[in-house]
Structure 1
Amino acid sequence: MKKLIALVALAAAAVGAQAKDLVDTAVAAGNFKTLATALQAAGLVDTLKSKGPFTVFAPTDAAFAKVPKADLDALLKDKAKLTAVLTYHVVAGQVMAKDVKAGKVKTVQGSELTIGTTGGVTVDNAKVTATDIVADNGVIHVIDTVVLPK
């Protein structure tokens, strides 16, 4: 009987523990506040909470701080341009660090990112500083610079 009670308690705890999607995972990390604000302004939160899977090259708050304030403020007010920039950071499918290969990869925005693997992984002109932050609908790789579609 004690085993049955323990098993029921364990099952209840497992059901209560909810997996985190990409947005919740980024917010919980604490260094993606600007990204979270931008996703909300662009109306992309629900998209990145959907089933996916997605691979997100996520710029940190420090990466967004490199963008001149006037430019960032203007971007946050231009929903179409903001959406294009943010979806340029997203690739369909879940690509783990061990599977990354140099070359071009198509983004959700439609343009291609250039992935480099010499001297560390780069995405266009951004360095990947952390990899394989797994969410229940994809993976986040942290980048140190906001990348812009060409």
Structure 2
Amino acid sequence: MKKLALVIALAITSVTSTFTVKAGPSPDHHNEKNIVQIAAGLEDFSTLVAAVKAAGLAETLSSKGPFTVFAPTNKAFAALPEGTVATLLKPENKKKLVSILTYHVIPAKVPASAVKTMKAKTVNGKMVDIKVSDKGVTVDNAKVIKTDVFGSNGVIHVIDKVILPKS
């Protein structure tokens, strides 16, 4: 029994220590702003916010939720092939944009302390691979670079790449 308790304690420690959590509100902290409002207020998410608005998802992601958003930075969007973002923001590509953005959202509030290696169903219905290792946490091929930005309707984990749904 003591060995089992030690194994569980070590497992929990290894999962929680893989995230680089910056000082900020605790998971129980109530933030009155929703995740869209928070992202809109942060300079590094201007491309993501523009995409969410172009896709018509701002109202949905401002609703009660809960949501976990793996949010790519402006730098992540800039790393896509030239012209990709501009093309996706065109009205005729709205369906594809919605598919990509909803692949970044899990319909549950998952703080860093609850993350483990697993497959998770995204809002677009496809599965995303979440891996926890001694090198950190990845979501598909994107590295989680900041965790636990809490909003009234969910949590944002910042990633360094735009993840694309598997065909």
On whether the aligned pair clears a TM of 0.5, the verdict is yes
Say which of 67, 84, 109 aligns to 1:54: 67
* Residue 141 of structure 1: aligned partner: 157
SS in 2 for 1:121: strand
Structure of greater Rg: 1
| C-alpha RMSD over aligned residues | 1.0
* Residue 36 of structure 2: aligned partner: 23
Measured against aligned partners, the alpha-carbon deviations of 1:89-125 in whole angstroms (never above 9, x if no partner) come to 0001100001001010000011010001111000000
Say which of 78, 87, 101 aligns to 1:86: 101
CA distance in 1, matches of 2:40, 2:82: 22
1:23 maps to a residue whose letter is V
Q: How far is the alpha carbon of 1:73 from its aligned partner?
A: 1.6
**What percent identity do the matched residue pairs reach?**
54
SS in 1 for 2:68: strand
* Residue 126 of structure 1: aligned partner: 142
Measured against aligned partners, the alpha-carbon deviations of 1:61-85 in whole angstroms (never above 9, x if no partner) come to 0100101232222112200000000
Query: Which stretches of structure 1, 4 residues or more, deviate above 2 A after TM superposition?
Result: none
CA distance in 2, matches of 1:125, 1:91: 17
CA distance in 1, matches of 2:44, 2:157: 13
CA distance in 2, matches of 1:27, 1:71: 21
CA distance in 1, matches of 2:62, 2:43: 18
TM-score, reference length from structure 2? 0.78
1:74 maps to a residue whose letter is T
CA distance in 1, matches of 2:42, 2:95: 27
- Higher relative contact order by CA 8 Å / sep ≥ 6: 1 or 2? 2
Segments of 5+ residues of structure 1 without an aligned counterpart are 1-17
TM-score, reference length from structure 1? 0.86
Matched, 1:74 2:87: yes
Alignment coverage as a number of residue pairs: 133
Segments of 5+ residues of structure 2 without an aligned counterpart are 1-30
